[in-house]
Amino acid sequence: MTSKKANFTEQNFDPAHPITKLRELNNLKERSEQTLDSLVRRLRAGDRTAAIELVDIYYKQIYLFMRRLGHNQHVSEDLTQESFLNAWHHIGQLRDGKALNGWLYRIASNVSRLYWRRNKHKKPAEIESFDTTDHTKAGPETAEHNEQMEQIKKAVAELPVKLRQTIILHYLQQLTIAEAADVAGIREGTFKSRLNRALTTLRKQVT
């Protein structure tokens, strides 16, 4: 009975009401966390179907991460596969769904770092584009935007490795400050400091 009353009350809320929107977002977040928790439990139990789901969810993100770290297409594909294999072999280290995102990126970051140590003679490839422009449209504004994005991309690629990493993790891969700092293996305060330095450098170069 209580449940029916609650449902009736929610149905009478204006869908555009801020409280309703907030509840929708919270419910969506809760469902997402529950889904990831379920996925992690299945992974820890050795469920290979869950491993396939993990790849389906994260493959594109990790591949783009590798490209943005300066690996070419072929190497990025190999390192992405290696990252998922490492994740599968060390799945016992994963605590819950909340930790999944940062944990997987930390593995990928280590895989990339080891590659560069073994291949110091190789030069980084051009950073993968992060432009979201609709290229079906044309005009002065689009051309100007494209030029600005090219400048930003070039400026990011020229940043020192540690500063470039902060931009990639937080802005391009959209990790939280806490997740990004964990992936980088540094404190949140240190990460924020590096991020501010990176942004300051980019503003100067792009301006």
Q: Is residue 172 part of a domain?
A: yes
Q: Can you list the pairs that 97-100 forms with residues at least 24 positions away whose Cβ atoms lie under 8 Å?
A: 97/33, 97/34, 97/35, 97/36, 97/37, 97/38, 97/39, 97/40, 98/33, 98/36, 100/36, 100/39, 100/40
Q: Are residues 27 and 105 in the same domain?
A: yes
pLDDT tens digits, one per residue of 77-103: 999 999 999 999 999 888 888 889 999
Q: Are residues 175 and 102 in the same domain?
A: no
Question: How many domains is the chain partitioned into structurally?
Answer: 2
Q: Is residue 131 part of a domain?
A: no
Contact by Cβ (8 Å): 66, 75: yes
Q: Are residues 155 and 105 in the same domain?
A: no
Residue 147's domain spans which residues? Answer: 139-207
pLDDT tens across the length of the chain (207 residues): 444 444 434 444 444 445 444 444 444 444 477 788 899 999 999 999 999 999 999 999 999 999 999 999 999 999 999 999 999 999 988 888 888 999 999 999 999 999 999 998 887 877 665 544 444 444 555 666 667 777 888 888 888 889 999 999 999 999 999 999 999 999 999 999 999 999 999 988 876
Q: Are residues 61 and 102 in the same domain?
A: yes
Q: Are residues 60 and 91 in the same domain?
A: yes
Q: Are residues 102 and 34 in the same domain?
A: yes
Q: Are residues 98 and 188 in the same domain?
A: no
CA 46 to each of CA 49, 95, 147: distance values in angstroms, whole numbers, following the listed order: 9, 15, 48
Q: Are residues 105 and 197 in the same domain?
A: no
